[in-house]
Structure 1
């Protein structure tokens, strides 16, 4: 299989001891650098109420990144549409697409709907513990459940702040249909009344769906003939299920004649395996902060790792993410990424890298590009 394009997923991480302003400026700087290195697209994640992540307003950041670059595609990975209306999404990204035609990706996730489903899952029986598998050389750890977080006060607070009082996310299928209709210019409500998004209607942008399982997002992306991004770095246990469901459901469309799959990976590259492991050492602590329910903390420095208390329960909480992070020298990581590419049949890989130091993060992307594209 030939080399596939590499792209970037950025959370605008805030390092321990750092400030949000610098994190946002670092995002723009990194985008400029990776464009020069040959990366294909640059996506901004959407995270809320996390001291260590500054990418809470992806549309705003997309505009800043697009203005600072020339050719790289820029988009969302992903807009949480359950927290806003279809019209608001189309107008935001329509504005971006008018300013930067042919360069904007509208990546969509079903976060608000998934939040409601997670609450329902807490009443379901606990499944028997799963075990890790290796398929075509790719590690698939046991699935991780967020059910323990659903009843927490912080989970409830996030829902309160992200939604208007009394608002409920509409069904994802309906919301996606409204977004696509507004973009095409053929929206009609139940009475037949039309509506036209300005900006938005007829703009030159690509719509993607992102998913972590073989569920609704994967099946919808396939049925609608849209490109699909599968999150190995978020949910490594279910990446093959997600890709298979998408391909099985795929129907050719005006956007795509054949399935197109992008697969994400958490990566840290340094000149040697040992140096990379040192840079990646804080990752487990950072993931623990998320999964313990407090939200992402500012990314620790390697020196802070030894001072942090760490139990067997902590290790179990983050094992799937730590074990599937690709860490090492350029040749080490490139070989593992080829395994991911081949096992999933990915048409493109989406690389997300977080280190305490910005220069180390830039260096990781640079070392990987030089090895991957040589």
Structure 2
């Protein structure tokens, strides 16, 4: 990691729907935010895939295509395509279609979906899915907060999550093993895919200049396959801060050089809210806990509430959200930039990707603008 210049900074967007708004507005705002990110000097603009909740990035490839068409230089990609929801062939065909019009600008991010995570939630090597540890304490690693793990197993078995999982696949369909899905995507892009004894070609898609990225929250399968296949890895501090260090370590330990990547390449995610001063930023972030509670309680992401009118988060909700709230980087530009430098230093990140959600869209744009300036990004 270079010491004489800031590492690259990218943007992760969920196209969040805010209280009093709608999905169409969220889509338009996502496109506008990408245009701002491009002008501000961010390297990439990635879209997260979620279904049946109050975010408008569910049809990720479609939104990526719209954003690629509305921008000219910034890389655009998925963070990440859910491997249990789409077949490898459909993934490569979709990204190949976009690449045909915007060659060399796409990042194809792949992640394990809820279907596979639910089946493996009891794995002993996955702390993010471990039982709750009431007596666990915070760790401070060279200035970086590593909170106790959140027990995700109960969330994955909630009725709403189970219904959403079932709704994204045909009855009786079995999602592929993640390693197999990644291998099939790589084979399709390289033009060497076979289904049984038959060679098949993704059209468009075969030969597309679309690097594959792996997203993960633990030291489990995602980190292992990213390392073994010599692919870049994105560690989700903003989703699972308790396991980010072991995820990065597992990836680096498993890394085998590939034609596309000679050394490990790590991107780490962070949730940020930046304003002109610390107090203003803290006020704008007041309803982040409400939003996380919707996700963690099994209800799914709800419309993002207005901090000017929302009631305080009730005390009983705190255990479900405190690891995410306490690891959000909130404050004035220098406050947040200093926190992100700590995150980069401790994880050894080659790049950071930040997501910022506020009720007011202009404040969200300002958050990215202030951070870009404090980080030293060069405007385009």
**What CA distance in whole angstroms lies between the structure 2 residues aligned with 1:167 and 1:231?**
28
Q: Does the C-alpha gap of structure 1 residues 37 and 127 become closer, same or farther in structure 2, counting only changes over 3 Å?
A: closer
Alpha-carbon RMSD across the aligned residues, in angstroms, is 1.5
Write the distance in 1 (CA, Å) between the matches of 2:362 and 2:101.
Answer: 30
Matched-pair contact (CA < 8 Å) for 1:289–1:295: yes
Please tell me whether residue 172 in structure 1 is matched to residue 175 in structure 2: no
- 1:261 — aligned with what? 266
Question: In 2, distance between residues paired with 1:173 and 1:135?
Answer: 31
Tell me which of 338, 342, 347 is aligned to 1:344. Answer: 347
How far apart, in 1, do the equivalents of 2:207 and 2:260 lie? 14
Unaligned runs of 5+ in 2: none
> Is 1:158 the counterpart of 2:164 in the alignment?
yes
CA distance in 1, matches of 2:21, 2:7: 35
Correspondence for 1:323 among 311, 321, 326: 326
Question: What is the DSSP-based 3-state SS (H/G/I as helix, E as strand, rest coil) of the residue aligned with 1:349?
Answer: strand
Q: Please show how residues 220-299 of structure 1 align to structure 2 within 5 Å.
A: 220-299=225-304
Query: What is the TM-score of this pair, normalised by structure 2?
Result: 0.94
Does structure 2 conserve the Cα–Cα contact (< 8 Å) formed by 1:94 and 1:201? yes
Structure 1 pair 255–135 and aligned structure 2 pair: CA distance change class (3 A): same
Report what 1:54 is aligned to: 56
Gap regions ≥5 residues in structure 1: none
What is the CA deviation profile of residues 13-53 of structure 1, one whole-angstrom value per residue up to 9, with x for unaligned ones? 11100111111100010100110000000000001111x21
The reply to whether residue 101 of structure 1 matches residue 106 of structure 2 is: no
What SS does the aligned partner of 1:303 have?
Answer: coil
Q: 1:353 to 1:183 in 2, by over 3 A?
A: same
* Cα distance in 1, alignment partners of residues 130 and 270 from structure 2: 31
- The change in CA–CA distance for 1:290 and 1:128 in structure 2 (over 3 A counts) is closer
Distance in 2, matches of 1:369 and 1:157, equals 40
CA distance in 2 between partners of 1:39 and 1:151 (Å) = 37
Q: 2:85 aligns with which of 80, 83, 86?
A: 83
| Equivalent runs, 1:190-201 vs 2, <5 Å | 190=196, 192-201=197-206
Give distance in 1, aligned partners of 2:282 and 2:348. 28
Q: CA deviation at 1:128?
A: 3.9
Could you tell me which of 131, 134, 138 is aligned with 2:137? Answer: 131
Give the paired residue count.
368
Q: 1:125: how far off?
A: 8.5
SS at match of 2:117: helix
Note if contact 1:354-1:361 (Cα within 8 Å) is conserved in structure 2. yes
Q: Go from structure 1 to structure 2 and tell me whether the alpha carbon gap of 1:151 and 1:224 turns closer, same or farther (over 3 Å shift).
A: closer
Give the secondary structure class of the aligned counterpart of 1:118: coil
SS state at 2:302 partner: coil
Q: Which moved more, 1:111-120 or 1:203-212?
A: 111-120
Could you tell me how far apart the structure 2 residues matched to 1:294 and 1:332 are? 33
Listed as ranges, the matches of 1:66-77 within 5 Å are 66-77=68-79
